[in-house]
Amino acid sequence: MCRHWLLAIRRRPGFTLIELLVVIAIVATLIGLLIPAVQRVREAANRSRCSNHLRQLGLACHSHHDNLGYFPTGGWDWFYTPTYAGSQPTVGAQQAAGWGFQLLPYLEARNTWVAGPVVAIATPNPVFFCPSRRAPMTLTYPDEYTPPLTGGDLTHALLDYAGSNWEMTGVIRQVEPVRIAEVGDGTSNTLLFADKRLNLQALGTYQVDDNEGYAVGWDEDNMRKTENAPMPDFFGDQWDTGRRFGSSHPGAFNAVFADGSVHSIAYTVDPTLFQYLGNRNDGQAVNLADLQR
């Protein structure tokens, strides 16, 4: 019986080298098919979260308008710190900081808003970041404000969205606030905020359009152009000198209009149509279907 048992062991079938290689090839192929599917699901979730962030910004703008009678401004200039009267932040044309700082009390961040300029500038808010690009991020470097706040290093909380527009024909205007009554084309035809284009190679480093952060006054960090066509994020050796809107989303970027509605805008959108979106009083209605062309 022992002899028969040994023979049975010797005759037990096993994998040949060729069969093993075939199995490995099949597994590798399945993984190759699975990874893009997982990436598509992840991007769909990130795009949805990004859209929700912009929706929150749009709602915050309307709460700001309901409370004060106007939309937030783009602030004064990049070298001014957030303005306080005593311990209370100023509003409207008296506030030197940009729209991000002005929206804090309407984004459940009132404590940050009233904590003073150093805390406000340094405190990241998840609503200001697109999850397709990065998690909330800060950047620390020597204080460049006039006059300086610390005399040393200062931490800046960054952001991934920008107001419309740098040309000052949009809803977010430098210094002087815009009221809904001044949006002649209608809020549903006018861009408010959208993803901004960035150099992914330089994320987390000092670059001209991603260093001052959300609390800065009028600057490339928080304002972009609509007269230049949007483009996707890129890898390069310099910042986006065109001050363009854009994102890490494939095919299209997210935007919220002045009525609070969120839309996806293709990078191939007609440049003239995109310019219309940035002008609140050009008399041009927008066909939303054209935003995807």
- pLDDT tens sequence across 224-258: 999 999 999 999 988 889 999 999 999 999 999 99
pLDDT 10s digit of each residue in the chain, 293 long?
Answer: 555 544 455 555 566 777 677 778 777 777 676 556 556 668 688 989 999 999 999 999 999 999 999 999 999 999 999 999 988 999 999 999 999 999 999 999 999 999 999 999 999 999 999 999 999 999 999 999 988 999 899 999 999 999 999 999 999 999 999 999 999 999 999 999 999 999 999 999 999 999 999 999 999 999 999 999 999 999 998 888 999 999 999 999 999 999 999 999 999 999 999 999 999 999 998 888 888 87
Q: For residue 127, give Cα distances in angstroms to 77, 185, 214.
A: 23, 28, 11
Answer whether 245's CB lies under 8 Å from 210's CB. no
- Going from the C-alpha of 201 to that of each of 207, 237, 254, the distances in angstroms are 11, 8, 21
CA 48-52-58 angle, to 5 degrees, is: 145
Radius of gyration of the chain (CA): 25
**Residue pLDDT, tens place only, 118-165:** 999 999 999 999 999 999 999 999 999 988 999 899 999 999 999 999
Are the C-beta atoms of residues 121 and 80 closer than 8 Å to each other?
A: no
Closest by Cα among 109, 251, 269, 275 to 190? 275
The model's pTM: 0.86
What are 65's two structure tokens? Answer: 């308008």
The number of C-alpha atoms within 13 Å of 188 and in the hemisphere containing its C-beta is 4
Strand ranges for 128-275 from DSSP E: 138-142, 153-157, 161-164, 191-195, 223-224, 252-257, 262-266
Distance CA 236, CA 228 (A): 19
- Percentage of the chain surpassing pLDDT 70? 90
